[in-house]
Structure 1
Amino acid sequence: MSSIVNSLSAQTSERHDEFRNNKKIPAVIEKSVLKALSFYPELKNTRIKFVFKKKLRGSVMQAQPLFTSLLRHRTKRSYQINISALFRLTHTVTPIHQLPDEIMIGWIGHELGHIMDYESRSNRGLVVFGYQYLRSGNYVKKVEVIADTYAVNHGLGSYIIATKRFILDHAELPQAYKEKISRLYLSPDDIVEQVRKLEERRAREQTEASK
């Protein structure tokens, strides 16, 4: 039985190996990162570094373009996803890599949605983006909705829902953080509705294609 499990695990790893290209990933989260990346074939060759940070102000994860790469052609752009090494609760802390896999995949999948958004913008557009992000709460909400929408459209809906419910239902998470998530991000019900509409649209497309 264990040999079968090991074989399946190896096959899964091999399927995701192609997404390692141009990526720097800490070993302890590699499995979750590669799984999340597998939903974004467009990012297969994109330069992305995943970096643990001792603390991220007001965030658990944060995707951003590397400033120096904005001085080069957009095809040579690089990104970094900062990840808080510790998941801080009201009374305790937990190493982030000990969170359930589906939660990590959903969280990383959301950050990759941001990178998809960045990829659609020019270097100049990203500079303007950064300025507006720092100055406008409404703009932040718009950007977070875009990232969630990319994730849902790429098949990560169930993971995004699990991550949001994990945050909002966690008794030990600071209330201020929960309120921020509720204020700026789509709710689990919103994501469920997005997934439903996506499935309906794809069903219609399949019906049309079969005619």
Structure 2
Amino acid sequence: MRRFLKYILIILSLALLLVVTIVATVLLQNVDPKQEEPNIQTYTFADTLANREYDLDSLRAIIGDNKGLPEGFEIAAAIAYSAYPQLKEVNIDMILTQSGAPMESTVDIWSLFGLKRNRQYLILLNDAQNTFFDPILLRSLPFDAQVGILAHELGHIAYYHKLNLFQFDKWGLGYLRSDEFRAIHERTTDLMPVYHGLGSQIYQYAYFVRKDSSCVAFYEKEKGFMNKYYMTDEELSEVVGQ
């Protein structure tokens, strides 16, 4: 019995040591919430992408066959993907959901424990009916605004893909615990579409969700949150020259 208890204590001690080591490793990670302009060549898109003919097969050839396209929004999603050549070999799926935030980028947690090339990222797009978020859901947006916000979400994934497991954990802690950390990350992620040639599209999204008559009531309720964590259309106008 004593020997059994001894083994149990040893196992518990090792488990505690492992937990402490992991926590310490996470806390020691240096994670900057700010997004930086990528050092890659990107394509500059037209200010207006709506009302044009697009060949989805040609777009699929550009973005790779490891990209999921949400039903009904395939073209907008494919254009947004095409703006991120550094993500061509990265596994990403865009999924329509019936709950959650209007848009959310995340990673399959288990895929974080393997090789980076095998990671699986998800962009969850709320498509529920008759909810508080109705005015700003993807289906409610004009085509260019759809491209702009999807490019914003892909900006998150470009950031995530640079992080190792411990850095990702540190980022998550910072995002949840610090308003300043979250604001810096989200507002600089609004610049990622600009860096990738879709500045007009993210501007059109920011303008629509604040100024369109269908969104005015929603914006009046949420403008404190929206303007704190995301760039306004006026701020983006100065950046993209709209």
Identify the TM-score tier after normalising by the shorter chain.
Answer: 0.7 to 0.9
* Conservation of the 8 A alpha-carbon contact between 1:24 and 1:48: yes
The counterpart of 1:147, out of the listed 189, 192, 213, is 189
* Conservation of the 8 A alpha-carbon contact between 1:47 and 1:77: yes
Correspondence list, 1:23-34, <5 A? 23-34=67-78
Correspondence list, 1:102-121, <5 A? 102-121=144-163
Change (3 A) 1:45 1:53: same
Q: Does 1:126 align with 2:178?
A: no
Q: Determine helix, strand or coil for the equivalent of 1:9.
A: coil
Q: Deviations over 1:116-159 (max 9, x none)?
A: 11122222111111111111111111111231122111111101
TM-score of the superposed pair, with normalisation by structure 1: 0.79
Shift of 1:91: 10
**What's the counterpart of residue 4 of structure 1?**
none
* Conservation of the 8 A alpha-carbon contact between 2:210 and 2:219: no
Q: Please list every run of at least 4 consecutive aligned residues from structure 1 whose deviation after the TM superposition is greater than 4 angstroms.
A: 87-95
State the identity %: 25
Q: Which has the greater radius of gyration? A: 2
- Cα distance in 2 for partners of 1:60, 1:165 equals 17
**How many residue pairs were aligned?**
186
Q: CA RMSD, aligned part only?
A: 2.4
Higher relative CO (Cα under 8 Å, sequence separation at least 6) belongs to 2
Point out where structure 1 has 5 or more consecutive residues left out of the alignment: 1-7, 197-211
Q: Determine helix, strand or coil for the equivalent of 2:53.
A: helix
* Conservation of the 8 A alpha-carbon contact between 2:102 and 2:137: no
**What's the counterpart of residue 195 of structure 1?**
240
**What's the counterpart of residue 161 of structure 1?**
203
Shift of 1:13: 2.5
Q: Does 1:48 align with 2:92?
A: yes
Determine which structure has the larger helix proportion and give its number: 1
* Conservation of the 8 A alpha-carbon contact between 2:91 and 2:120: yes
Determine which structure has the larger strand proportion and give its number: 1
Change (3 A) 1:173 1:20: farther
Change (3 A) 1:86 1:61: same
